[in-house]
Amino acid sequence: MKLMITTAAVALIAVSAPAAAQMGRSYSPPPAMPQTTTPGSMAQPPQPAANGQPQPAAPGTKPIHLSSKAQKAIIDLQTAVNKNDVANIPAKLAAARAVAATPDDRYAIGELQLKASLAAKDDPGMFAAVDAIATSGFVDAATSAKLYKSLGGQFYNAKQYDQAIAAFQKATTVDPRDTEAYTLMGEAKFAQGQKVEAATDFQRAIQLDVASGQKPDEALLKRAVSVAYEAQSPMAVDLGREWAAAYPSPDSWRNSIAIYRNLRHPDEEGTLDLLRLMQVTGAMTSPHDYALFAEAAADQSNFNEAQAVLDAGQAAHLVDPSSPEFRDIFAGLKSKPKATAADLQAAAKMSPSAVNLLHIGDRFYGMGDFSNAAAIYRQVLSKPDADKDVANIHLGMALARSGDKAGATAAFNAVTGPRAEIAKFWLAYMQQHA
């Protein structure tokens, strides 16, 4: 007897659209598993046409051939399920399982068990049915994963998060490349308060997208960053940098740098280097950004750069010299000496220490003279007492601003230790400006 079954029991349990798509990538709860009361297509075998030949299978269906050994038991189970004969379904199910001999048999039994479990709202039964379908050998991994995701959505919406996580985990097991399954599992863990674990799942989904050559959805990146940062997890730094690299904007750069600063608490030198990055990425969008940058530069006696920052803030209509926030900064800078290029060249010839030479380069940088700044930073690197990590970051910044991508990349890649993470932010910027 030839029966027709819709592939993967979609007549009973279906994901009508990808779950994440239904969620609009805004990460509202996953979709519920549709609970239909109509039987699967196996409930009605194809009827002969007038010429006595079977009609072609409907699109989207797959023919199934029951073994002679299991056929009667499966038909008996189908009859009980269709009549909702709850008293006899368990015995009929056990009898059918006992004689199942082929993938087709096992699949048919799983679909009938699923239909019965849906009608009875039997959660363990639904899980067992999907397991039976997934392990039947009749469906592929992608179809099995889709069933587990839909089942997980059912549990999620019922706030049964342990079961939802288990279902989504099964989806990732049968199809390890299913990014949506990791995303949904992350949401279920987040609903349980497992923020670090949720962020880890989101990160895995992002990694799978990248590995497959796809650009991760920005909403997923933002969600991962948000959850990781809420958990105060170190992975928030990497995720934030990935977000800014994939979707560069003043908002992504500003937030990713703020996350790094809040979690890593860089020293004054590191803070200045990050503020300089905010400047070139257009991420300085508030008066406070300009005030912080100007004060940090002035604290290093780099009055040229501090003044240049305030001038840029005025041009952007974000700095008001008469406002309480800036009045004292402007007054303080007014009396401070501003070095000229000639002053700096003369100072560089006086064999200064590595630290003083670095500061000369920083003043060239603050004046926008990136070529001379780079030359000075190279001199710093030749000094035995130089902080080579700081010097390489500053060399990379100067080369980046002067358009030497290869040289800047090499300088940033030479940075080691704690400052390497700041260099990675600059490298992400460099990748956007080929």
328 and 366 housed in the same domain: no
pLDDT, one tens digit per residue, over 271-330 is: 999 999 999 999 999 999 999 999 999 999 999 999 999 999 999 999 999 999 999 999
Amino acid at 80: A
- Residues 257 and 284 both lie in one domain: no
Regarding whether 107 and 198 lie in a shared domain, the answer is no
What does the alpha-carbon distance between residue 224 and residue 201 come to, in Å, rounded to a whole number?
A: 9
Best CA proximity match to 192, nearest among 220, 226, 218, 227? 227
Residue 11 and residue 121 share a domain:
yes
Residue 5 has pLDDT above 70, yes or no: no
* pTM of the complete model: 0.83
Mark residue 317 as left, alpha or beta (left: phi above 0; alpha: psi -120 to 50; beta: remaining): left
pLDDT tens-place string over residues 120-138:
999 999 999 999 999 999 9
In a domain, 184, yes or no: no
**What residue spans of 231-302 are helical by DSSP H?**
235-246, 250-264, 268-280, 287-299
The C-alpha torsion from 118 through 119 and 121 to 126, rounded to 10°, is -30
For the stretch 216-243, pLDDT in tens is 999 999 999 999 999 999 999 999 999 9
Read off the pLDDT of each residue in 33-48 and give the average, rounded to a whole number: 31
Q: Which of 338, 353, 388 is the last residue of a domain?
A: 338
The pLDDT tens digits for 61-100 are 678 899 999 999 999 999 999 999 999 999 999 999 999 9
The predicted model gives 334-350 an average pLDDT of 95
Distance from first CA to last CA of the chain, Å, rounded?
A: 65
Is residue 114 located within the same domain as residue 35? Answer: yes
Q: Is residue 188 part of a domain?
A: no
Closest by Cα among 410, 393, 182, 362 to 270: 393
- Which of 323, 338, 353 terminates a domain? The answer is 338
The pLDDT tens digits for 237-265 are 999 999 999 999 999 999 999 999 999 99
Residue 9 sits in the same domain as residue 152: yes
Residue-number span of the structural domain to which 296 is assigned: 275-338
- What's residue 31's pLDDT? 36
Question: b/e for 241-258, b at 16 or more Cβ within 10 A?
Answer: bbbbbbbbeeebbbbbbe
What does the pLDDT read at residue 29? Answer: 34
Question: What's the total number of domains in the chain?
Answer: 4
Looking at the structure, tell me whether residues 405 and 289 fall in a common domain.
Answer: no
Distances (CA, A) of 217 to 81, 157, 189, 190: 42, 24, 20, 19
Rounded to whole angstroms, the Cα distance separating 283 from 250 reads 4
pLDDT for res 106: 97
Q: Tokens 């038991």, residue?
A: 73
